[in-house]
Structure 1
Amino acid sequence: MDTGSHLLFGVTLAGLACLEPAIVHEPALAHAILAGTLIGSHAPDFDTVTRLKGVLLRT
């Protein structure tokens, strides 16, 4: 998937989490969940960074 799709999934998961009233009433928790879902949704792309790092170290 492309980066836009990962971003959309992260925001969608954070939005679904906000259906829980306990999360809505705690703004800090809502922000933490948004950050966690955005970082987690981009986790499949982290291997690209390590691959590029390996290629750069070989040269």
Structure 2
Amino acid sequence: MKIDKINEEDHNAYKRYWENKSYEASMVNTIKFDREYNLKKAKKEKAIEIAKNLINAGVEKELK
């Protein structure tokens, strides 16, 4: 379809449609990024917690 041959109202509707699709894609990517970031952060926090518990239990001294 040649976009330059449609009337202004249809052209504006077409343009809005693709702007909305672009916004939707951006939101999906943001949600994916946030989920991955939060999973990595949670794993790192869990590893730190485990390390602290091991140190407090004296495991560090046993390894030397």
- The TM-score, its normalising length taken from structure 2, stands at 0.34
Scaled by the length of structure 1, the TM-score of the pair is 0.36
Larger Rg over CA atoms: 2
**Structure with higher helix content:** 2
